[in-house]
Amino acid sequence: MTDGQDRGGPLAGIRVIELGTMIAGPVAATLLGDFGAEVIKIEPPGVGDPIRHSGPFVGEESLYWNVEGRSKRSVTLDLRLPEGQDVLRALVLHADVLVENFRPGTMERWGLDYTRLRECNPRLIMLSTSGFGQTGPNAARPAYDRISLAFAGFLNMTGYADRAPIRPGTALADYQAALLGAFSLMIALYERDRGGGTGQQIDLSLFEAVFRFTDVMITAYDKLGTPRNRSGNRHFAASPGDHYLTADDKYVAMTVAANNVFRRLCDAIGRTELADDERFSSHIKRVENFDAINAVMIDWFLERSAQEAAAALEAFGVPHSLIFTPADIAVDPHYAARGAIAELNHPVIGKLRLPAIQPHFSNGPAPEMRPAPALGADTDAVLADILGMSADAIASLRACGAA
């Protein structure tokens, strides 16, 4: 590493070239950067990643960018120009990983597809993330998070039966793909360095990242003909379970998925006779009689404040939580004790609180985070230190619009 970029951490010495935009590909790189990998983000000159232009903003600074662009180096290159493509090929010689999430065919049009890049560096591992994958009849279709959630069958089972499907409150497909992307990169790095010594391309689609975690949805349909339709907060393997309104207009999430927990719940609400009620005597029967047992819980919560309800459930070890708002999270002692919210000082907007690096490792904390870089902040340093380019050569790239 050069220019003080080695922050330590278990992935120190791994260099990642990131060509992605927005979330899925870039966050896979962010996760590696969290643990010490050097992430060099390639962005279009004068424009940058679209996430830089996504709100909310403090002045002209995107908070979204500052969460997901942390600890990276920003280099501007126009990959549509031969000069920019030549610089990228040179950088690939010094890289372990390249991450891209363009529509399939884009990298090939630029002469930067994996077949050609591996000629430059046979050890290169390339993560290609797209909505529908690199193959198949839908490969060329554009897709965002919501489209992938729809195609994976997720939206069909999210929400209530009497209204339109509901999207989750965050970019679930993008973030699940980012997690699988980081996971797959670590597998490929391990395989390469354990013995084979060669890289490979990883084909990761957003829809499959969601579909993989739809539990038994397709299996139950295949074997039993059972569809998974929208059923509100009801879960096919938990009863009772809901988001319960309390007397002080708050919501408490609670779910019961085992017989011993149900007995504890009956003790907690002072209805011990329910544990011996034939309708509720087993987990399967409680699921069959969900409306009846859930109605009991709805009434019980409505008669108590959220604090009173939580205290009663806590006393008997019944899984539950107040449905937290950001205001709750900001002051919660458990978040503080876990260090789940990190702080860093941004040169323009000052102190930022953002989700901390996860998970925790017993061998020591992750490297210190660095603020997300300004567009092109590291162009000169990267091109000079890694490629040995002169100031005149870099100026020439800028003059032709390639950097």
Task: Reply yes or no on whether 174 is catalytic.
Answer: yes
Q: Collect all residues with Cβ–Cβ distance below 8 Å to 204 and sequence separation of at least 6.
A: 127, 128, 129, 130, 133, 177, 180, 181, 184
Rounded distance between C-alpha atoms, residue 95 and residue 18, angstroms:
10
Q: What are the strands, taking DSSP E only, across 97-179?
A: 97-100, 125-130
Choose, from 174, 203, 242, 378, the residue flagged as catalytic. 174
Rounded distance between C-alpha atoms, residue 362 and residue 376, angstroms:
36
Transcribe 267-301 into DSSP letters. HHTT-GGGGG-GGGSSHHHHHHTHHHHHHHHHHHH
Phi, psi (degrees; rounded to nearest 5) at 135: -130, 170
Q: Any bridge partners for residue 201, and if so which?
A: 126
Rounded distance between C-alpha atoms, residue 259 and residue 257, angstroms:
7
CA distances from 17 to 2, 98, 186, 357, 382 (A): 15, 5, 15, 20, 11
Dihedral (C-alpha) 19, 23, 26, 29: value to the nearest 10 degrees?
Answer: -150
- Which among 88, 64, 66 is positioned nearest to 76, based on CA atoms? 88
Instruction: Tell how far CA 403 is from the center of its chain.
Output: 30
Rounded distance between C-alpha atoms, residue 71 and residue 372, angstroms:
6
CA angle 224, 226, 230 (to 5 degrees): 165
Phi, psi (degrees; rounded to nearest 5) at 354: -150, 165
For the annotated catalytic residues, the residue numbers are 174
